[in-house]
Amino acid sequence: MIKVAVLGVGTVGSSVVKILEKNADIIQARCGKRIVPVIGVVRDMSKKRDIGIPLTDDIKSVINRDDIDIYIELMGGIEQAYSVVKEILSKGKSVVTANKALLAYHRYDLQKAAQKAKIGFEASVAGGIPVIKALREGLSANHITAIKGILNGTCNYILTKMMNEKASFKDVLKEAQELGYAEADPTFDIGGFDAAHKLLILASIAYGIEAKPEEILIEGIENIGNEDIYFAKEFEYVIKLIGIAKKKGDKVELRVHPSLIPQDEMIAKVNGVMNGVSLIGDFVGETMYYGAGAGGDATASAVVADLIDIAREGQSPMLGFKSPLEKAKLVIMPKDEVETKYYFRVKVKDEIGVLAKIAAVLELSQISIESFLQKTEAKKSDTTTLFFATHHCKEANVQKALKEIEKLPFVIDKTNMLRIEANT
Ligand code: HSE
């Protein structure tokens, strides 16, 4: 059993405890051990928290416990967190942290202090997206030519709402705070500092660069007004807070600022609290990562992944699990049971009753039509093409309906069917 202490039981800390409890089985299967949160450290003991582990405000006593294997640092802040993490590392214990401000200032000091202990920091950049693993492991064969990313969920949430709903800056910021996306001090978000901290972490992995936030260009979104949004829309741009790291000869360009981005670029489509990061390697080319960049559960998912990695002690079987993943063995779902939306293109003779007869076949097969279109190529043609999109229905019913449609005397060609895969 691996015992962990959670230093800071706010939005992310509570989600970490929840995941460790709810997903205990799958976590044990993946690392071969139970990972158990045994104590949480909080500043304010009087605050009500819905959490099933003992709490204390005595951090010293927790750091001095011999039975804790891994500490999760979610206290925030820089210098106090730094001295706490250093002390833990000096005892040879591992730390998992989501604290990007701490890493923006002390990542190299911590690397040195760690010696044989491990420091997991996946959650410090882009919330739930495993972008650090991608850069550190997946792309390690490459020189990184550029990093370009939307790295702050709060800013992206605000800018998206301003673009799409003409919402006011203040109102949306309040919403983002209520949803648990914003930092304790939201000027870190809107001033671009949080994104800069994350960019520096990525740039260290990519380039070994040792810059501090003060040394790079940082501009926030606080001066973006509705007039700027108006211009952007008129000229088919979106406004995004972007972090950029680019290698140019023997220099690395590092900057964070709001930018106008052409609407059709992939990164322009990263909306709401989502983050999107594009990493470009000299051999792999461009790779892109997308997902929730803030919020308790998404960030905690990355924290727990680091715990699992450390618990594996460098020994992870090829497929990443040590015992069967599910109690009841999973089986493959028969093709007939697949459920999705469908599109049909049916070429028919243009006669009375044709549409009604096809609709009857669909009805008999329990298929509901979501939209319909008819298109006739030539003006005087005696044939026409019918297009149907369906609501969700079963593959078996669709196959049955297609066979029936094929038998109808007025159907000219084989019906073309495509599956529609949309998130909603
Ligand atoms: N405040 C941060 C954001 C949280 O909005 O992206 C995740 O680091």
pLDDT of 146 reads 95
- Distance between Cα 294 and ligand 1 center (Å): 5
Comparing CA positions, the residue from 171, 170, 134 lying closest to residue 289 is 134
Q: Please tell me whether residues 179 and 287 are part of one structural domain.
A: yes
User: Which pLDDT band holds residue 331 (cuts at 50, 70, 90)?
Assistant: confident
Same domain, 287 and 397: no
> Is pLDDT at 17 greater than 90 in this prediction?
yes
Say how far apart CA 44 and CA 36 lie, in whole Å.
23
Among 122, 158, 194, 221, say which to mutate for ligand 1: greatest number of ligand atoms within 8 Å of CB: 194
Give the least confident one: 178-187, 298-307, 354-363. Answer: 178-187
Assigned token pair, 34: 């139970």
The total number of structural domains in the chain stands at 2
Task: Mark which of 292, 322, 348 sits at the end of a domain.
Answer: 292
Q: In the chain, pLDDT over 70 holds for what percent of residues?
A: 100
The predicted-structure confidence for 339-359, as pLDDT tens digits, reads as follows 999 999 999 999 999 999 999
pTM of the model: 0.87
What count of other Cβ atoms lies within 10 Å of the Cβ of residue 272?
15
Measured between alpha carbons, how far is 91 from 308 in angstroms, rounded to an integer? 21
What does the block give as tokens for 276?
A: 């999107």
Q: How confident is the model at residue 382 (pLDDT cuts 50, 70, 90)?
A: very high
Higher pLDDT, 235 or 329: 235
Tell me, yes or no, whether 4 lies in a domain: no
Q: What is the mean pLDDT of residues 254-265?
A: 93
Residue 424 has pLDDT above 70, yes or no: no
Q: Is the pLDDT score of 170 beyond 90? A: no
Domain span holding position 263: 139-292
- Check which CATH number belongs to the domain holding 223 and give it: 3.30.360.10
High-pLDDT (> 90) share of the chain, %: 83
115 occurs within a structural domain: no
On whether both 255 and 144 belong to a single domain, the answer is yes
The finding on whether 293 has its CB within 6 A of some atom of ligand 1 is yes
- pLDDT beyond 70 at 279: yes
Measure the CA–CA gap between 199 and 185, rounded to whole angstroms.
Answer: 19
- Which ranges of 64-192 does DSSP label H, i.e. alpha helix? 79-90, 100-114, 131-133, 153-165, 169-178, 187-190
- Can you read off the two tokens belonging to residue 119? 């420091």
**Each residue of 50-63: pLDDT tens digit?**
898 999 999 999 99
Q: Which of 110-119, 157-166, 273-282 has the highest mean pLDDT?
A: 273-282
| Residues near 43 by beta carbon (within 8 Å), at least 6 away in sequence | 57
Active site residue 329: no
Q: Tell me how far the alpha carbon of residue 124 is from its chain's centroid.
A: 13
Average pLDDT over the chain, rounded to whole?
94
Query: Could you tell me the pLDDT band of residue 166, with boundaries at 50, 70 and 90?
Result: confident
Give a yes or no: residue 46 inside a domain.
no
Please say whether the beta carbons of 131 and 199 come within 8 A.
no
Q: Are the beta carbons of 15 and 49 closer than 8 angstroms?
A: no
Token pair 């939306």: residue:
341
On whether both 237 and 350 belong to a single domain, the answer is no
Residues 382-410, mean pLDDT to the nearest whole number = 96
Kindly state the helix (H) or strand (E) to which residue 195 belongs, with its residue range: helix 193-207
Mean pLDDT of 397-410: 97
How far away, in angstroms, is 272 Cα from ligand 1 center? 12
Q: Whose C-alpha lies nearest to ligand 1, atom 4?
A: 294
Cβ atoms of 206 and 245 within 8 Å: the answer is: yes
In a domain, 324, yes or no: no
